[in-house]
Amino acid sequence: MTTTAETTYEIRALSPATLAGLRVRDDAGAAPRERVDTEGGSPLRCCLERSRPGERMLLVSYAPLRRWARETGADPGAYDEVGPVFIHPEECAGPTTGPDTFPEALRGDRRVLRAYSTEGHILGGLLIDRTRENAPTIEEGLAQLYADPRVAAVHVRAVEFGCFHLETRRAAGPRAAH
């Protein structure tokens, strides 16, 4: 968990149960597609790392708000969306960093932070652009969004393709379940 003056949140990879299901059938109802990343560098949502050259991975459709809504009882309505993500084809060790450390492999120069309410509705967003002078860090951006007590979750996405990278959630107590 990361604690700021305003709040505490945790950084989350896809859960082992979610990954097991996605390896069989993705959130669009399709079978996963196996790929070999010849160059490496694709963001893996299972371990929050980048693929290595020649590494096998699966391309699956993932619906982050839909899955979050199942857990929390939220109703994202029109904000529900499905997009492509890469995962390992077999169970992996998961993130090497804890839920309080943003993974360097997914940091990037440009990210969008999208904040959601407990109902699953978009409350706002923030562009993180490290190519600009005095731009906030991802941690500063997350702290800014979580300063709003209505924010329950923030998704980190790529700017160019809009791809989902990871989810952060407001922590419920001293240590939220992962």
Per cent of the chain over pLDDT 70 is 93
**Helix or strand (DSSP H, E) at 140:** helix 138-146
Q: What is the pLDDT of residue 7?
A: 52
Predicted model pTM:
0.88
pLDDT band, residue 97 (cuts 50/70/90): confident
**pLDDT tops 60 at residue 44:** yes
Question: Degrees (nearest 5) of the Cα angle 136, 141, 143?
Answer: 125
**Helix or strand (DSSP H, E) at 165:** strand 164-170
What are the boundaries of each domain within the chain? 2-170
Q: What is the pLDDT of residue 33?
A: 98
User: Which among 175, 174, 123, 127 has a CA at the least distance from the CA of 149?
Assistant: 123
